[in-house]
């Protein structure tokens, strides 16, 4: 394996993707602030501090996990590209036509990964995090999955086989991801001809809705034409109810990621034969040997918004604590290539524990005094460890 392959497999090429994300942090925060101000002015606020913190915590967790899963993020793609690509026409992919084709190609592969993630329980377990919020706003867009690429990387290998260079693949993925931020809003209505071609706020509200008529529709990330071509399109024609079936009903970021996996483990253990154990993993979410499914026993009319009481002091503390976690995550992403593995792991554990403590505080499971004590102790130990 040559030096360039090793470089790509370790996650660095031309410009570090982690540092690009750090530059995007303030842009994301400004977009969220702008949407909140607009909602406040118009009398249609779509934000709750506790829910927004929960969603944004998942975004930070996904970036922390990405630091340690670069093999799946780009490494395996790079290996396939260098050893199995039909052709490697880098000059073509560097042209504007090549870039457009790479972005469309990525969006096509992403459609199938997204679609299968709603139709296979083991993939849904990785993707469900993005759907758990009962609010729909820009913070929901940043509620990113931590285990998605670990399970879904193979869906993008056709790009490597055709010969799309890893750099073009990475940038195309970033373009498709960033595009989807603005479509997570309730403040933009239908857009006419645009809705017929592109993923739009109206189309994507349908995708996040748990109304019976909207389940498993509108998977397209940038283009909705895939849904129209393959029969998964639905038009928004009634108010959307957001969340998951069943509802998460927790601000615990670790449980949000691991809870559905724990449910799968229990279902697999209870199945009496290997065939049913495998079907539980790969059939649609909620499938049981008896043919039962969560969706079949869910009544959208009885959905209540999860909103446990929380003091104003706790919310202020949550905002300050979360700001600190943003800073720690930015430091990790910016300096990951300079930090040793133990230092990176220590900082990652500090971030994960801080987000867990924050969730416990705003959910009322831990007093602020205990949160501050635990976090201060962890911070002191981390400081000694990093010096």
Domain boundaries, the chain: 3-230, 312-386
Rounded to the nearest integer, the mean pLDDT of the chain is 90
Give CA–CA dist 171/1, Å, rounded: 23
Residue 133: per-residue pLDDT: 97
Residue 3: per-residue pLDDT: 41
Query: Does the structure show a pLDDT above 70 at 292?
Result: no
> Lowest mean pLDDT: which of 20-29, 62-71, 296-305, 335-344?
296-305
Give the distance between the most distant pair of CA atoms in the chain.
Answer: 61
Report which of residues 87 and 39 the model is more confident about: 39
The answer to whether 244 and 221 have CB atoms below 8 angstroms apart is no
Task: Quickly state the pLDDT bin for 286 (edges 50, 70, 90).
Answer: confident
Give CA–CA dist 172/107, Å, rounded: 8
Residue 44: per-residue pLDDT: 96
Query: Does the structure show a pLDDT above 60 at 2?
Result: no
Report which of residues 14 and 331 the model is more confident about: 331
Mean pLDDT throughout 233-242?
A: 96
Length of the chain: 387
The answer to whether 246 and 294 have CB atoms below 8 angstroms apart is yes
Give CA–CA dist 347/169, Å, rounded: 29
Query: Does the structure show a pLDDT above 70 at 220?
Result: yes
Query: Does the structure show a pLDDT above 50 at 75?
Result: yes
What pTM value is reported for the model?
0.91
Best CA proximity match to 31, nearest among 144, 136, 139: 139
Residue 387: per-residue pLDDT: 65
The answer to whether 221 and 176 have CB atoms below 8 angstroms apart is yes
Residue 13: per-residue pLDDT: 45
pLDDT tens column, 336-360:
888 888 889 999 999 999 999 999 9
Contacts of 22 (CB under 8 A, 6+ apart): 330, 333, 334
Mean pLDDT throughout 223-244?
A: 97
Query: Does the structure show a pLDDT above 90 at 20?
Result: no
Query: Does the structure show a pLDDT above 70 at 1?
Result: no
Mean pLDDT throughout 72-100?
A: 91
Residue 74: per-residue pLDDT: 85
Give CA–CA dist 326/328, Å, rounded: 6
Report which of residues 14 and 177 the model is more confident about: 177
Give CA–CA dist 361/368, Å, rounded: 6
Paired strand residues for 264: none
Contacts of 3 (CB under 8 A, 6+ apart): none
Mean pLDDT throughout 134-158?
A: 92
> Lowest mean pLDDT: which of 1-15, 143-157, 260-274, 306-320?
1-15
Mean pLDDT throughout 43-67?
A: 96
The answer to whether 108 and 101 have CB atoms below 8 angstroms apart is no
Give CA–CA dist 292/268, Å, rounded: 14
Task: Quickly state the pLDDT bin for 375 (edges 50, 70, 90).
Answer: confident
Give CA–CA dist 316/78, Å, rounded: 44
Contacts of 274 (CB under 8 A, 6+ apart): none
Query: Does the structure show a pLDDT above 70 at 5?
Result: no
Q: Within 10 Å of residue 56's Cβ, how many Cβ atoms?
A: 24
Residue 147: per-residue pLDDT: 84
């Amino acid at each position: 394996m040559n030096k360039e392959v090793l470089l790509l497999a370790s996650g660095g090429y031309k410009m570090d993707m982690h540092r690009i994300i750090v530059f995007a942090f303030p842009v994301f925060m400004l977009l969220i602030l702008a949407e909140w101000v607009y909602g406040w002015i118009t009398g249609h606020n779509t934000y709750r501090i506790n829910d927004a913190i929960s969603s944004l915590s998942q975004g930070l967790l996904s970036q922390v996990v990405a630091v340690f899963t670069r093999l799946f993020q780009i490494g395996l793609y790079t290996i396939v590209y260098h050893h199995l690509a039909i052709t490697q026409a880098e000059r073509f992919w560097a042209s504007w036509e090549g870039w457009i084709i790479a972005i469309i190609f990525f969006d096509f592969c992403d459609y199938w990964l997204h679609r299968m993630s709603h139709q296979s329980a083991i993939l849904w377990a990785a993707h469900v995090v993005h759907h758990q919020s009962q609010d729909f706003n820009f913070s929901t867009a940043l509620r990113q999955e931590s285990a998605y690429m670990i399970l879904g990387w193979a869906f993008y290998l056709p790009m490597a086989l055709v010969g799309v260079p890893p750099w073009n693949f990475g940038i195309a993925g970033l373009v498709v991801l960033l595009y989807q931020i603005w479509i997570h809003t309730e403040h933009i209505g239908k857009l006419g001809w645009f809705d017929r071609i592109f993923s739009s706020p109206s189309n994507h509200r349908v995708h996040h809705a748990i109304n019976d008529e909207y389940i498993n529709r509108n998977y397209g990330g940038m283009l909705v034409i895939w849904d129209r071509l393959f029969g998964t399109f639905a038009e928004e024609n009634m108010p959307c109810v957001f969340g998951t079936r069943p509802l998460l009903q927790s601000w615990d970021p670790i449980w949000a990621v691991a809870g559905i996996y724990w449910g799968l483990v229990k279902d697999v253990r209870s199945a009496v034969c290997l065939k049913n154990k495998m079907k539980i993993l790969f059939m649609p979410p909620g499938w049981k040997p008896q043919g039962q499914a969560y969706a079949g026993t869910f009544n959208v009319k009885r959905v209540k918004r999860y909103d446990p009481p929380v003091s104003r002091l706790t919310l202020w503390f949550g905002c300050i604590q979360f700001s600190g976690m943003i800073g720690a995550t930015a430091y990790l992403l910016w300096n990951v290539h300079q930090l040793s593995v133990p230092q990176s792991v220590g900082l990652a554990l500090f971030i994960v524990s801080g987000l867990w403590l924050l969730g416990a505080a705003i959910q009322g499971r831990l007093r602020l005094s205990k949160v501050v004590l635990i976090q201060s102790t962890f911070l002191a130990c981390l400081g000694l460890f990093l010096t």
